[in-house]
Amino acid sequence: SQQGEEDPQALSIQEGENATMNCSYKTSINNLQWYRQNSGRGLVHLILIRSNEREKHSGRLRVTLDTSKKSSSLLITASRAADTASYFCATDAFGGGSEKLVFGKGTKLTVNP
């Protein structure tokens, strides 16, 4: 089944540095989403990028999408300790609905004060 795969699995940085996470997927998509999960909590939607978009910004977040490479990246600029969390990408199937979002295994980000 199609699935987003995040890379790296874990990332540790210092406060103030930028964090970049990558997601690869297997088949054509309508859109790709990124979610954040604080330890043991529910997932929170961060940003959605459609297949006809190449870049999207939201505050300190920048998401890029390269459909030719079937990959996306999430950049968090000027990271803060509060950004410590796991980050997941989620993809849907071309022609399908968002009810079949498929999540990757996540990148665990640690931001050290």
Partner 1 sequence: DADVTQTPRNRITKTGKRIMLECSQTKGHDRMYWYRQDPGLGLRLIYYSFDVKDINKGEISDGYSVSRQAQAKFSLSLESAIPNQTALYFCATSDFGFTGELFFGEGSRLTVL
Which of 31, 90, 38 lies closest to 56 in space, CA to CA?
A: 31
Residue 88 to residue 7: CA distance in whole angstroms: 10
Q: Other C-beta atoms within 10 Å of 75: how many?
A: 14
77 lies in the site for partner 1, by CB under 8 A: no
Min separation Cβ 85 and partner 1, Å: 13
Comparing CB distances to partner 1, the nearer of 19 and 88 is 88
- Look at residue 6 and give its three-state secondary structure: strand
Min separation Cβ 47 and partner 1, Å: 10
Binding stretches for partner 1 (CB under 8 A): 1, 3, 30-31, 33, 35, 40-45, 48, 88, 90, 92, 97-106
